[in-house]
Amino acid sequence: MHRFVNPIRFLKLVSAVQPWAMGISIVCLIAGLYFGLVVSPADYQQSETVRIMYVHVPAAWMAMFCYSALAAASAVGLIWRHLTAFVVARATAPIGGAFTFLALATGSLWGKPMWGTWWVWDARLTSVLILLFLYFGYMALEGAFDDRARGMRAAAILAIVGAVNVPIIKFSVDWWNTLHQPASVVKMDGPAIHASMLTPLLLMAVGYTAFYFWVMFVRVRAEFNDARIQALRLRQSEA
């Protein structure tokens, strides 16, 4: 890890991986949507609305994955004082926030036909809503200081504090038995879901993950280029 915190080396790695992430993301998302919306069967109870699952479930996974990445990058940045880790955390936050919003919005659209209501205050939905506010809080705190380094460090501490919410989201459906169904893919005794539905679900998950890395890499490069431009401007004005 410490090899790649050097910004130049990290940017070299990013440039090498970014086209792959882009390619995998586009291919998997198209294939996942095709299998999910066209090939996979309709559910015998939920009929066609089950297809919301292929957008909703991977988005919820990504919401938690991005927050874990955010907290991990923040911890690395705070412990070893690596600027690169802070930049990765900063680039991750809006993407994770968008996935969280997507999960909440599609969940709401799915809840209306299935549960008869757009929203219930059950543990899973509430904890994911808190996750969305944590993303907002991170972004607001990060941008609230004139000294950018201070904003990054303060926001990193908040990200680590908020990480207590991630296991709560994961286990909320097991601890409180409410409307939201418990986990059916990641289970000890194998997934409780047929291959025809699991395939598009996993394709979408891979596509989303690759999408995250793609967009994160673009944002990280933009961030470093921005810093470079500022440094050049500063040097010009001094000359």
Among candidate residues 68, 62, 43, the one with its CA nearest the CA of residue 163 = 68
Binding of another protein by 150 (CB under 8 A): yes
Residue 122 exposure: Cα atoms within 13 Å on the Cβ side: 22
Contacting range for another protein; rule: CB under 8 A; set: 31-39, 66-74, 111-119, 151-159:
151-159
Query: Of the candidates 140, 183, 231, 234, which one interacts with another protein according to CB under 8 A?
Result: 140
**Any contact of residue 97 with another protein (CB under 8 A)?**
no
Joined together, the tokens standing for residue 239 give 């000359």
In whole angstroms, how close is the CB of 66 to another protein at the nearest point?
17
User: Under the criterion CB under 8 A, does residue 29 sit at the interface with another protein?
Assistant: no
- Asked if residue 148 binds another protein (CB under 8 A), the reply is no
Q: Does 77 bind another protein (CB under 8 A)?
A: no
Site for another protein in 46-65 (CB under 8 A): none
**Residue 130 found at the interface with another protein (CB under 8 A):** yes
Binding segment (CB under 8 A) for another protein, from list 36-44, 127-135, 188-196, 222-230: 127-135
As to burial, measured by CB atoms within 10 angstroms (0-12 exposed, 13-18 middle, 19+ buried), residue 228 is exposed
User: Which residues partner with 215 through β-bridges?
Assistant: none
Do residues 122 and 178 lie in contact, with contact meaning Cβ atoms separated by under 8 Å? yes
- Closest separation in Å from C-beta 162 to another protein: 8
Q: Does 83 bind another protein (CB under 8 A)?
A: no
CB-CB neighbours of 91 under 10 Å: 22
Ranges within 161-180 binding another protein (CB under 8 A): 161-162, 164
* Binding interface with another protein (CB under 8 A): 78, 126, 130, 133-134, 136-137, 140-141, 144-146, 150-151, 153-154, 157-158, 160-162, 164
